[in-house]
Amino acid sequence: MGVMSGNPKNEPMHYGEVIGVWAFIAANNGLISGYEAFINHVGDGDLGKLVKEAIDLMKSEKKELEGLLKDNGIALPPAAPDRPKANAEEIPVGARFTDLEIATAVGSDVGKGLVSCSAVIGQCLREDIGMMFGKYHMERAKFGLKALRLAKEKGWVVPPPLHSSSVNNE
C-alpha cells in the first residue's frame, strides 16, 4: 500500500491540488467582491436574484475549500471585505453597469468556472477533492443554464453570426 491508498482525507495534497484549490478560492473571492458591486447596479429583479444566487454558490464553495486548506495547513488567499450596499438610482447612468453587461459577465464567468473545475478534476489524485470539484461543476452547469434562460427571456443574449443550413436554402 502506498501513500496514496486508503482514506483520501488521510492522503497529502500534491502541489497541483494545492494551487488548484487555492487559485479557485482566490478567483471566487474576486468574483464575490465584483458580484456584490453588481448587486448595487442591477435594475432587473430577476437578474438581482440570479447574481445573489451566484454569490451564495461561490461562498458555499469557498467555505468548503477553505476548510480543506486549513485541514492541510495551507494559508488561505486574501479576500476583500464585503461591499457596502448602494442605491442603483444614485449611481450616474454613465458609471452604472447595465443589466446586459452584468448578465454577459455572469454568463462568461460560468464558462470560465466550468473550465476551472474541469482542470482541477483532471489533476487530482485525491478522489475527495476531485468529487468536490465534480459537484461544483454540476452546480455551475445548472446555474449556467438558469442564467442562459434568463438572458434569452430578457433579450440580453447577443448571438454570434448564425449558421444557416443548406437544407433551408433548397
Question: With 0-12 CB in 10 A as exposed, 13-18 as middle and 19+ as buried, what is 162?
Answer: exposed
CB 21 within 8 A of CB 65: yes
> What are the sequence ranges of the domains in the chain?
13-155
| Rounded distance between C-alpha atoms, residue 159 and residue 17, angstroms | 36
| Rounded distance between C-alpha atoms, residue 45 and residue 128, angstroms | 37
2, pLDDT greater than 60:
no
Which CATH topology does 13-155 take?
A: Ferritin (1.20.1260)
| Rounded distance between C-alpha atoms, residue 98 and residue 40, angstroms | 11
Which pLDDT score is estimated for 86? 92
Question: With 0-12 CB in 10 A as exposed, 13-18 as middle and 19+ as buried, what is 73?
Answer: exposed
4-57 per-position pLDDT tens digit:
666 777 789 999 999 999 999 999 999 999 999 999 999 999 999 999 999 999
- Count how many residues are written for the chain: 170
110-127 per-position pLDDT tens digit:
999 999 999 999 999 999
Q: Could you tell me which residues come within 8 angstroms of residue 120 by beta carbon, excluding any fewer than 6 positions away? A: 17, 20, 21, 24, 129, 130, 133
C-alpha cell at 30: 474576486
Q: Using DSSP, how many helices (H) and how many strands (E) does the chain show?
A: 4, 0
Q: What is the largest CA-CA distance in the chain?
A: 66
**Alpha-carbon torsion 52, 39, 112, 129, what sign?**
negative
